[in-house]
Structure 1
Amino acid sequence: MDRYLAFDIGGTFLKYGVVYEDMTLFETNKLKTPNSLEGLLRAMKEISVLYKGVNGVAVSCPGAVSGEGIIKGSSALHYLHGPNVKRLIEDRLNVPIFMENDAHCAGYAEFWKGAAKGRKDVLVMVLGTGIGGAVFKNAELHKGANLHGGEFGYMLLNSEVQDSNDVWSRVASTKALVRVVAERKNIDVDSLTGEQIFTMAEAGDEVCLQALDRFYHLLAVGIYNLQYIYDPEVILLGGGISAREDLIKKIDEKLDGILAVVDLAKVKPNIEACKFKQNANLFGAVYGWLKEFDCSKVAPI
């Protein structure tokens, strides 16, 4: 059976795995995302050497990915923006590369064989270092006039705009959660992880509990806005945090509170976790590769 090497370039981790054409995952691993483009290319090359004989390489990454391979917009990895990253990866790995925005990849996976299969109007949110998104209308990906369709993370939640720190990604991402807790505990932000915050909260840490409560509220506010902008059938949540079994329940509770106050709102957002959770980006990148290079193996979504 054909197999494909997939990379998910994130602001915190570079994830990778081998995906079979039937969408089974042979193995997956991750390492801290290198702090330079050369470091990233070197790491991807070293990983690809370990998996010789794959049929193709698919890449999920942040930012607005153009057809030619230039990543527009902005992200936590500033070095991705400007050069033709796709071409650089192809030259280094010496194989044809499919590259697409991470949230778009997550959406592809969910429409292919996941929680969006059989649906038409869907929003996908990827929660991580920032907040990414994808818009699907009639089961077709909508990229927008400037390739920014679905960039929910740029949404403003504060009407008194001071700077870029007021955008949704900077206040309601997992990176924002870590920053808030680090500041309140007066510790180095690099010494703390989201996983540690959840563990400390479960042990009763008041700072972590309060930060998580605010985190869930801010996510719910943005999701409420998205529901009334687009009115999708479902809003799917992906990213590493989507693996937490209580995520949907906590956000759902905050949505109930918002709807109780805003009595004009009668439609409650239907939120679900991506079926493939933290691996959705890897699977979706492979779907994109098959769609571009071997469409006989995938049916249109």
Structure 2
Amino acid sequence: MNEKKGYMVFDIGGTYLKYAVMDQEGKKFESGKLPTPADGLEIFLQEISRVTKGYSNDYQLQGIALSSPGAVDVKTGFIGGASAIPYIHGVCMTNLISEQTNLPVSIENDANCAALAEGWLGAARGIDYYICIVIGTGIGGSIVINQSILRGAALHGGEFGYMIMGTESKDPLDQTWSRVASTNALVEEVARRKSLEKSSLNGEEVFRLAEEGDVIAKESLATFYKRLAIGIYNLKYTLDPQKILIGGGISQRPEVISGINQELRLLKNDISTLDIEVEACEFDNDANLIGALYHFLKTQG
């Protein structure tokens, strides 16, 4: 029997189910992905079991770590809320997978996993108190204190996207941070101003247009950075973390980080004197896997 110890780690996504065998230092021995099963919970569990058993002859698997969308209750193993994978909600996922594989199982929310990865091995290594802001279709994130997630009474700690950013609309909920400052909001604004179908644009295209000198794209990006900076300013003065990290695919663009920081520098006066700055998350595609493993190691000992 192979004596190499490993941990089976899964990142449950709406499109793909990513997996890896990793060591306790966060290094990958093996990795892969498969389409997230669309045929329901039973097929999903079978695939988890099949992949795990496929590596059991080559590694002494110590357990299974899961990264999942939704409002994850890490104590009970239930996934609340909603996601693109309806069948994972309302069942005790950890027990079901443990019964299939005879291995201990842990589970954590995907955004929280990304934040934990940064604190363990990434941009927040050695930092006691930081926040991660994930910018994508909406805006989410995590608050991390001493490598523990601040979850909140209703498991909504870090749901920064719900902040209301203005009162101009009759319905203030039309102006949450997610609705006015997400990548999705940026694309919608450019499409509206250029009288285009939203489906004809994406974030990459908006940045390409701006690089080519398109005035509307450049103006929309400037507004985008300002709206992000205002929300970050609010979070800094509310939570006062040691470090603020920006995640999501858009964070890998240096001009996004510099654009936000330029706007943050303008939000200073004789009263608001804090120097507020953001940094990009270090991990991208592997963040959820690394954070899920860290959560397993921490909770399972």
Alpha-carbon spacing, 1:201–1:81, altered in 2? closer, same or farther (3 Å): farther
**123, 126, 150: which is aligned to 1:142?**
150
What's the RMSD between the two structures over aligned residues?
Answer: 3.3
Superposed, which structure 2 residues align to 1:211-250 within 5 Å? Answer: 211-250=220-259
In the alignment, the residues of structure 2 paired with residue 275 and residue 40 of structure 1 have an alpha-carbon distance, to the nearest angstrom, of 33
Contact 2:134–2:141 under 8 Å retained in 1: yes
Residue 185 of structure 1, CA deviation: 3.3
Contact 2:81–2:89 under 8 Å retained in 1: no
> So what's the TM-score if we normalise by structure 1?
0.79
Identify the range of structure 1 (207-216 vs 183-192) with the bigger mean alpha-carbon deviation: 183-192
Ranges in structure 1 where 5+ consecutive residues have no aligned partner:
296-301
Identify the range of structure 1 (214-223 vs 159-168) with the bigger mean alpha-carbon deviation: 159-168
In the alignment, the residues of structure 2 paired with residue 206 and residue 79 of structure 1 have an alpha-carbon distance, to the nearest angstrom, of 41
Tell me, yes or no, if structure 1 residue 272 matches structure 2 residue 275.
no
Superposed, which structure 2 residues align to 1:1-301 within 5 Å? Answer: 1=4, 2-9=6-13, 14=16, 16-18=18-20, 20-21=22-23, 22-25=25-28, 27=31, 38=39, 49=50, 52-53=54-55, 55=61, 56-66=63-73, 67-73=75-81, 77=84, 79=86, 82-84=89-91, 86=93, 90=97, 94=101, 97-160=105-168, 162=171, 164-259=173-268, 262-293=269-300, 295=301
> So what's the TM-score if we normalise by structure 2?
0.79
In the alignment, the residues of structure 1 paired with residue 108 and residue 151 of structure 2 have an alpha-carbon distance, to the nearest angstrom, of 11
Contact 1:143–1:150 under 8 Å retained in 2: yes
Alpha-carbon spacing, 1:7–1:207, altered in 2? closer, same or farther (3 Å): same
Alpha-carbon spacing, 1:200–1:88, altered in 2? closer, same or farther (3 Å): farther
Counterpart residue identity of residue 26, structure 2: M
Residue 219 of structure 1, CA deviation: 0.8
Residue 5 of structure 1, CA deviation: 3.5
Alpha-carbon spacing, 1:214–1:44, altered in 2? closer, same or farther (3 Å): farther
Question: What is the aligned-residue identity percentage?
Answer: 40
* 1:298 corresponds to: none
Identify the range of structure 1 (195-204 vs 104-113) with the bigger mean alpha-carbon deviation: 195-204
- Larger Rg: 1 or 2? 2
Residue 28 of structure 1, CA deviation: 6.1
Ranges in structure 2 where 5+ consecutive residues have no aligned partner:
none
Alpha-carbon spacing, 1:218–1:14, altered in 2? closer, same or farther (3 Å): farther
Residue 250 of structure 1, CA deviation: 0.9
Instruction: Give the aligned length.
Output: 286
In the alignment, the residues of structure 2 paired with residue 181 and residue 93 of structure 1 have an alpha-carbon distance, to the nearest angstrom, of 48
Alpha-carbon spacing, 1:202–1:15, altered in 2? closer, same or farther (3 Å): farther
In the alignment, the residues of structure 2 paired with residue 81 and residue 160 of structure 1 have an alpha-carbon distance, to the nearest angstrom, of 38
Counterpart residue identity of residue 79, structure 1: P
Residue 168 of structure 1, CA deviation: 0.9
Contact 1:19–1:286 under 8 Å retained in 2: no
Residue 251 of structure 1, CA deviation: 0.4
Residue 41 of structure 1, CA deviation: 7.7
Contact 1:233–1:270 under 8 Å retained in 2: no
